[in-house]
Structure 1
Amino acid sequence: DDHFDIHACVKSELRKNLNIRCVLIDEAQFLKKAHVEQLCRITDDLDIPVLAYGIRSDYMAEPFEGSMYLLAWADSIIELKTICHCGKKATMNLRIDEEGRPVCSGEQVHIGGNDQYVATCRKHFKLGEIAHLPRVEV
Structure 2
Amino acid sequence: MLKSLSLSQVLSICLLADNVKRIGLPVSTSPDYILPYLGDINGLDEWFCKKRSLAQVGLLHSLQALTRTELIELAALMWFGRGDAEFGVLLRHATANADASLPYYLADKAFLAVHLRTGLDQLLVGESGVIKVRRYR
Structure number with greater Rg is: 1
Same fold by TM-score greater than 0.5:
no
TM-score normalised by the shorter chain: which range applies?
A: under 0.3
Tell me which protein shows more strand as a share of its residues: 1
* TM-score for both structures, normalised by structure 2: 0.25
Q: Which structure has the higher relative contact order (CA within 8 Å, separation 6+)? A: 2
